[in-house]
Amino acid sequence: MKLIVLGSGTCVPSLKRNAPGYFLESEGMRILVDCGSGTLLQLERAGKSYKDIDAVFVTHLHPDHFADLMPLIHALLATPKFKREKKLLIAGPAGLKEYYQNAFTPIFGRRELIEIAEIQGEIEFEPFSISSAKTIHSPESLAYRIESGGTSIVFTGDADYDERLIALSNNADLLITDCSFTHSLKMKGHLSAGECGLIANKAGVKRLLLSHIYPSDIPDSERVREAGEVFDGEVVLAEDLMEMVI
C-alpha cells in the first residue's frame, strides 16, 4: 500500500498542518481516510486527482474530519467535461446515513453514483479489507484497520487510551495515532504521545506514525521522545504530503 499524509493537523487552522486526511492506494484502487478541510487542495499538491478517489472512510462526524466531503462530491458532479462513471463509496460510523440525508441530499439530490455505508465491525472494499473498533472520543467515533496485499495500517482517528485500540492494532505494519499533545497537556478524548507509544508497544506494531498534531509551544521532537520512551520501534512524526510505502 502507498500512503500519503494529506493532513497531519487538527481543527485549529495551521499553515504547517492541514486538517486530517490520508490517501491510500493499492492495486489501482484509491481511498481517503478522513477528508478534513483542505483535503482537495492537498490531493492536488500530492499529484493525485479527486476524480480517481474510489471511497472515503470517515472516522467520525466532527467537521475537521469530513468538511471537504461536500466539496469533493460537488467537484465530482460539476467539473466541466468530466462525467463520473463509477460509484463513490462514503463509509463511516453510525449516524452517517441520516447526516448525509439531512445535509447533502437537499443540495445534491439523490445520486445513484453515491453509496453510503455505516460500518459495523468489518467491510470489504477490494483490495482493501477494513475492520473497525469503537473509540473513546465522540459517541460514534471509530478506528480503522485497513489491510491489503499482506500489509496492515491502523488509523486510530481521534481517540483516548483504550484496550480496543491495542487489539485492533495487533502486529500492524503501521499505526497512525491521534497524538494531540504530550503528557503534560493531556486532554480527555485524545491520546498523549506517551499513550501512543504504549499502545504501539503493547500491540507489537512495526512502526508508529504520530499525527493529529495540535499547535504547541512544546517542540515536536518532544512527542517523538515521549513515545520512544515506551516503544522501541520506529517512531515518526507525521508531516503533510509525507509518503510511505507499506
- Please provide the DSSP assignment of 19-45 as one string: SSEEEEEETTEEEEEEE-TTHHHHHHH
> Partners of 92 in the beta sheet?
118
- Please provide the DSSP assignment of 59-79 as one string: S-S-HHHHTTHHHHHHHHHH-
Identify whether the C-beta of residue 153 lies closer than 8 Å to the C-beta of residue 4.
no
Angle of helix 220-228 relative to helix 193-203, nearest 10 degrees?
A: 40
Identify whether the C-beta of residue 6 lies closer than 8 Å to the C-beta of residue 39.
yes
> Partners of 234 in the beta sheet?
207
Enumerate residues 6+ apart whose C-beta is below 8 A from 26.
Answer: 1, 2, 127, 128, 148, 149
Q: Which residues are catalytic?
A: 64
Write the DSSP symbol of residue 99.
H
Cα–Cα dist 169/122, whole Å: 14
